[in-house]
Amino acid sequence: MNMMSNKEVGFADLLKNGQTLKQFRDGIIARTEATGSYNGLEKLEFRDADPIGYEKLFSKLRGGLVHARETAKKIAASPIVEQEGELCFTLYNAVGDCV
């Protein structure tokens, strides 16, 4: 039986809310199942409040992924990746969901 606290063991409070990643993830799954929308979000408030800012952010994220893909194609050891571009990049959030 481990009698040490989380601080002594060295567990990081990554989310700054006292939850573990598993607890946080379980909460997201529960809200998704209850509402039918990811994390219970039925409305994208940032997109509705600032559509131009939303599109700028989306464009920067997409541009970063495209740049990463092109860099990977240039340094790839595989001829299939280098010549045909057969590779895939995805962006995940902190709990492992594809964005």
Taking only the tens place, the pLDDT of each residue in 87-98 is 777 888 877 888
Q: Which two tokens stand for residue 86?
A: 């057969």
Number of CB atoms found within 10 A of residue 32's CB: 15
pLDDT in tens, 17-40: 888 888 989 999 999 999 999 999
Which 3 state secondary structure label does DSSP give 68?
Answer: helix
pLDDT reported for residue 1: 54
Alpha-carbon distance values, 1 to 9, 16, 94 (Å): 13, 26, 30
pLDDT in tens, 40-66: 999 999 999 999 999 999 999 999 988
pLDDT reported for residue 75: 86
Give the pLDDT mean for 1-23. Answer: 69
